[in-house]
Amino acid sequence: MAVKDLRINEQIRVREVRLIDGEGEQRGIVPTSEALEMAKEADLDLVEVAPTSRPPVCKLLNYGKYKYEQEKKLREAKKKQSLTKLKEVRMQPKIDKHDLDFKAKHVQEFLNGGNKCKVTIRFRGRELAHTELGKVVLDNLLERLEEGSFGVDNPPQMEGRMMSMLLSPRKK
């Protein structure tokens, strides 16, 4: 549940609540008005932390501090998640050996960086009659990459005038 959805103090409209005090001790089921009095005496807020339970669970705490802590946890979780991007390398079936080595080096860098890589061969004009040459180029590219550093998600297949395959990095 997001921090914004929590009801606090006078927003809580039920007759009685299960109360947890500032030290985390269970106080049992208490009338809401009494729980509000306890919160004012302790200079804290009455926050509904589990609205779906019967009766709802409320806690005595500093709402501003609680909200800050929850947002801090969300920021930490966002830092830890990793985003994989899809990088694309394009070439033609008439690619030279050195150019293929150069492209293979780029593909390897993308895979080592944790990104997926789409390798595309573009056929122009009469090259379209010899799509098997594109398959040979893609096979040569796979031979040039480090063993075990990648997995083939989509094997080479034709899509209109292009043949492409999708590579993904292996988990370490």
Residues of the chain within CATH 3.30.110.10 domain(s) are: 86-169
Enumerate long-range contacts of 109-114, CB under 8 Å, 24 or more apart. 111/145, 111/149, 111/150, 111/167, 111/168, 111/169, 112/149, 112/169, 113/169, 114/82, 114/84, 114/169
pLDDT in tens, 56-113: 888 888 888 888 988 999 998 888 877 778 999 999 999 999 999 999 999 999 998 8
Report pLDDT for 82.
73
Pick the CATH number of 3-78 from 3.10.20.80, 3.30.1490.20, 3.40.630.30, 3.40.50.10420: 3.10.20.80
Pick the CATH number of 86-169 from 3.30.300.30, 3.30.110.10, 3.40.50.300, 3.40.50.970: 3.30.110.10
SS3 category, 150: strand
Report pLDDT for 49.
84
pTM of the model: 0.55
The secondary structure element, H or E, covering residue 98 is helix 97-112
Report pLDDT for 156.
92
